[in-house]
Amino acid sequence: MNNTRIFKTSFASVYKLYINKVERKGKTKADVDTVTCWLTGYDMASLQEQIDKQTDFETFFGQAPKMNPNASKITGLICGYRIEAIEDPLMQKIRYLDKLVDEIAKGRAMEKILRT
């Protein structure tokens, strides 16, 4: 997985796509916010600040207050890659978030998405 262009992509631009994806499936922006905050440790105010600043993914995850210790429980395939086998730590974090959003869109229960 060599595509590092995503590292410099604005988180806000992809965040909008996440919201569109879940809303098409009857879910909400609040669901995306919940999993994003759970994964990264941002609160809603600091998450909104990152979105407003058009922070790239590298900075977004680099400044994340605290990655959730249960993030390693996020497993499976995303875009044809096994998440637990991704070697680049930043790419793995991005794919964790992708997987969480996919699970929302598929209607999985929030308790299971948040690995509680």
Taken in order of first residue, the domains within the chain and their CATH numbers are 5-113 (1.10.8.290)
Mean pLDDT of 79-104: 94
* Mean pLDDT score across all residues of the chain: 95
42's tokens? 């941002």
User: 64 and 40 in contact (C-beta within 8 Å)?
Assistant: yes
The predicted structure's pLDDT at residue 2: 57
Q: Report phi then psi at 56, rounded to 5.
A: -80, 165
Q: Is residue 35 within 8 Å of residue 100, measured between CB atoms? A: yes
What pLDDT was estimated at residue 79? 83
Question: What share of the chain in percent tops pLDDT 70?
Answer: 97
Q: Specify the pLDDT at position 116.
A: 80
- 71 vs 79, higher pLDDT: 71
Three-class SS of 24-51? HCCCCHHHHHHHHHHHHCCCHHHHHHHH
